[in-house]
Homo-oligomer: A and B are copies of this chain.
Amino acid sequence: METLTVELGDRSYPIHIGRGLRHASEYLAPLLQGRRAVIITNETVGPLYLDDLRNTLMPLQDQPVAALQLADGEQYKNLSSLEQIYTFLLEQRLERNDLLIALGGGVIGDIAGFAAASYQRGIDFIQVPTTLLSQVDSSVGGKTGINHPLGKNMIGAFHQPRLVLIDTDTLNTLPDRELSAGLAEVIKYGLIDDPEFFAWLEKHIDALRARDPQALAFAIARSCADKARVVAEDEREAGRRALLNLGHTFGHAIETGMGYGAWLHGEAIAAGMMMAADLSQRLGWIDTDSVSRMRDLFSAAGLPVTPPAGLSPARFRDIMAVDKKVQRGRLRLVLLHSIGAATVTADFDAQCLEQTLEALTAA
């Protein structure tokens, strides 16, 4: 069992990480005093863990625990699923003082979190993330939202959960491909500002893919702590928090360009981080050896290291132009000086970006 706190003043909240926590009513009880919780999950996670969580909640509230199962997949992270949640909450007559619990991966966390942020202008919510990606990413920082056909995560709110419960046992049912996708975000934390963690990952990547519980618990806690530190310094992404977007501008372009759901988010940002590394190298920032280490680690994690065929440089440019990090028409990117030293900048040679797009998308 590990516990850490995301420090955000009166919006601080604890993250508990351990085996079997979906059964641990002691963490939920204090939040359910005289209130009622409903659960948002999806059709993949629901059949696996909804009953467990329901049984944990049942003794804590005097009404049945209602749940809504959405369709599974990034392509359902849209306004129409959001509307389904609103209708469900209103039919359930959920009150402003009640609670919403998100049980599932990042899509469920993001969309249920935004529903919580906007239902009756904001109600409390709890995250029970069941994928590695959501455990190390969306469980920290309070970003919630949905996609728009013209751009990923373009609609949303900052809304911090009251509690995050990470049950590492739920990773046993996670498909290999999704475990790998989660590892992309884990590796990202090493690249941003934790070279020691990157080196640890190089040594333990096989144990992680074999789902060694201790290795997983360590990697999750370290990732959450790394992210929590950045978020605590810059909740609303005025500055430093943008580092967490390493690989994301390229990655979002891949996701948008291929259609949501074709590539997993983690796969897209792994390729995106390699694109950022390629550009950083062309700028003379990061050395060849470090780029090779990155390529080797992503490959060992079962992740792609180049963007998909079929996305032209022109299409990349077009999608990246509406990125949330564009300021005064200038694209800002997260680039690398070395492993463990990322930086946000709009001050790079646009020619080099062109070369990266031409070189990698031609592959």
Say if the beta carbon of A18 comes within 8 Å of chain B: no
Most buried by B among A86, A122, A143, A321: A86
In the complex, what distance in Å separates the CA atom of A138 from the CA atom of B79?
Answer: 25
Complex interface: chain B residues within 8 A of A150 (CB): 87, 90-91
Q: With A86-B155, A93-B322, A150-B87 in contact, is A34–B328 under 8 Å at CB?
A: yes
Q: For the side of the interface on A, what is the size category? A: 35 or more
Bound together, the chains give a CA A119 to CA B322 distance in angstroms of: 12
CB of A154 within 8 Å of the partner chain: yes
- Complex CA gap A90/B149 in Å reads 10
A172 within 8 A of B: no
Residues in A314-356 with C-beta less than 8 Å from chain B? 321-322, 324, 326-329
Q: Which has the most chain B C-beta neighbours within 10 Å: A114, A158, A322?
A: A322
Interface flag for A83 (CB, 8 Å): yes
Contact status B118-A328, CB under 8 Å: no
CA of A131 to CA of B145, assembled, Å: 32
A277 to B37, CA, bound (A): 35
A151 at the interface (CB under 8 A from B): yes
For residue A151, which residue of chain B has the nearest CB?
A: B90
Q: Copies of this chain, how many? A: 2
**Contacts A79-B79, A148-B86, A328-B34 given; does A154 touch B93 at CB 8 Å:** no
Asked whether A3 is an interface residue with its Cβ less than 8 Å from the other chain, the reply is no
A170-220 contacts to B (CB < 8 Å): none
Q: A43 on the interface (CB 8 Å rule)?
A: no
What 10 A-B pairs have minimum CB-CB distances, sorted nearest first?
A: A90-B150, A121-B156, A120-B324, A118-B155, A93-B322, A96-B324, A95-B326, A86-B148, A121-B157, A90-B151
| Given A96-B327, A121-B156, 15 additional A-B pairs, CB 8 A | A34-B328, A79-B83, A87-B148, A90-B150, A90-B151, A90-B154, A95-B324, A95-B326, A95-B328, A97-B327, A118-B118, A118-B156, A120-B156, A121-B143, A121-B157
